[in-house]
Structure 1
Amino acid sequence: MIEDAGQIFSTFKQTAQGGAPLYLQLKKSIEDAVNRGLIGPGDALPSERDIALKADISRVTVRKAVQDLVKGGVLVQRHGSGTFVAPRMERVEQSLSRLTSFTEDMARRGMSVRSQWLDRGLYAPSPEEMMVLGLSSNELVARVARLRIANDTPLAIERAALSARVLPDPAAVAASLYATLQTGGNRPVRAVQRISAANLGEEDSRLLEVAPGVAGLHIERISYLASGKVIEFTRSIYRGDAYDFVAELRLSEPGNIGDRP
């Protein structure tokens, strides 16, 4: 916690005006302080109790202002640690025309990448995994789930499923799943992705360090070998405030039926 933060709340009761609800006035004061650089990314705010005492307002008012700022991405709350100014995040653009791994994609941008493992193991397949991967009920599925982190910012949760015949030892996956698949001659060459909007649940928002219910991107990818065989079924959640997916569109050849007015 920095000295400027305490000063902001000490002077709030002198600058508060009638009309707008107090929580909105407090919210604006904090936003202004962040925008002016009085408190910067990573700086801790005083506790709700301390803010209420300094600003001479109720803790309920403080909590409502802070929750609004967390939902807006201005602040982040870390369980057991407190409330902090959110890091300034440069949005990441990913092309929809290129099939790359997260590790490769971030490396091209000069970003340091690491993963937090959530799951690596062999399981009985779900009905959906059986259908997509073409598995029988007596086969096993390899599941690899990771929190993907770039420049110390959690960006995505990836949950991949593959046939255990392709990936008999999920623990062998290190930095890149695709690098592991390439070693065995099973790297996918094309994929079909479906992207939809999603409001993040409690667990996913905790991992991505955003407020529950904020907008995210749900991405379902089915990847194929050159033979046309499905090799990978991945369901991912990406932060909506950090990712832009970009597609290039071209006019079809003149004369196509679909092009005629």
Structure 2
Amino acid sequence: MIEKNSPIPIYYQLAELIQEEIESGNLQPGDALPSEREFAEKYQISRMTVRQALNLLENNGKLYRIQGKGTFVSEQKIEKHLLGLTSFTEDMTARGLKPSSRLLQFEIIPATLHIANQLYIKEYDPVYEIKRIRLADDVPMALETNYISANLLKGLTEQIINQSLYAYMEAQSIIIESASQTIESSLAEEMEANFLKVKVGAPVMLIQRNTFLQNGTPVELVKSIYRADRYKFTIQMGR
């Protein structure tokens, strides 16, 4: 209900009403919204006010527009908390989604100087290079590349990778204790866009994670490209 005498702007009230419909499940991803004219007639407000509300929700990633067709409900973003070290599989399972991966590349390569420095090994030492597309409910979420010292983790196979890499590490008494992670924004290049099913130039998040054992030994370098339209990160901070 719109309260026209409220100090809260009318466009903001309308945006809240639409968002409540999305969160309650009355509006599902892909559903078309009524036209601006229909909203204006229903609530006896101007089309300009309706447009402000829709623009706000579009900017917040709740809606998207298709020229000549209308306004639709977006797929909602998957939220990952940055407190605690969890795998992609654990994150998706906890949210009731079916995680899966598509292996693009698995081989042992000589470490470049950059990779060697990150893993505290010598240049040209053997490392596993594992490139995968990570999916949730069969929707591509991220393009992920792992680098792991082949001298540290032996016997790695495609079958193990397709199950749970972290579970295999733990079974080999390689227990990850901590990680550092950096996140920055970027735009999808052609190869990335093809794998992630987005347009070239679409916003993505570049993430690098370094994971460590209890004694401080680096065990893994992970470089990931996440779809910014389907994923968001949250963190709780105290003062």
TM-score over 0.5 (shorter chain): yes
**Distance (whole Å) between structure 1 residues aligned to residue 171 and residue 31 of structure 2:** 48
Mapped pair 1:192 → 2:209: no
Q: Determine the structure 2 residue equivalent to 1:35.
A: 32
Structure 1 residue 170, shift from structure 2 partner? 4.1
Percent of residue pairs bearing the same amino acid type: 28
Q: Determine the structure 1 residue equivalent to 2:14.
A: none
Structure 1 residue 141, shift from structure 2 partner? 0.6
Q: Determine the structure 2 residue equivalent to 1:213.
A: 201
**Inter-CA distance 194–240: structure 2 relative to 1 (3 Å threshold):** same
Q: Determine the structure 2 residue equivalent to 1:112.
A: 98
Other structure's SS at 1:35 match: coil
**Distance (whole Å) between structure 1 residues aligned to residue 77 and residue 215 of structure 2:** 36
Q: Tell me if structure 2 keeps the 8 A contact 1:159–1:234.
A: yes
**Distance (whole Å) between structure 2 residues aligned to residue 141 and residue 156 of structure 1:** 22
Of 121, 135, 148, 2:107 maps to 121
Alpha-carbon RMSD: 2.4
Q: Tell me if structure 1 keeps the 8 A contact 2:208–2:222.
A: yes
TM-score (ref. length: structure 2): 0.68
Instruction: Output aligned runs, 1:19-168, within 5 Å.
Output: 35-36=32-33, 88-168=74-154
Q: Determine the structure 1 residue equivalent to 2:10.
A: none
Q: Tell me if structure 2 keeps the 8 A contact 1:142–1:170.
A: no
TM-score (ref. length: structure 1): 0.63
**Distance (whole Å) between structure 1 residues aligned to residue 157 and residue 221 of structure 2:** 15
Q: Tell me if structure 1 keeps the 8 A contact 2:31–2:73.
A: no
Other structure's SS at 1:203 match: helix
Q: Determine the structure 2 residue equivalent to 1:176.
A: 164
**Distance (whole Å) between structure 1 residues aligned to residue 81 and residue 168 of structure 2:** 23
**Distance (whole Å) between structure 1 residues aligned to residue 233 and residue 212 of structure 2:** 21
**Inter-CA distance 155–87: structure 2 relative to 1 (3 Å threshold):** farther
Radius of gyration: which is bigger?
1
Structure 1 residue 217, shift from structure 2 partner? 0.3
- Count of residues in correspondence between the two structures: 177
Q: After superposition, what is the alpha-carbon deviation per residue over 1:133-190, rounded to whole angstroms, capped at 9, x for unaligned?
A: 1111352011111100101210011101010023332423223221121111113111
Structure 1 unaligned runs (5+)?
A: 1-32, 38-71, 76-85, 252-261
**Distance (whole Å) between structure 1 residues aligned to residue 189 and residue 203 of structure 2:** 10
Structure 1 residue 212, shift from structure 2 partner? 0.4
Letter in 2 for 1:201: E
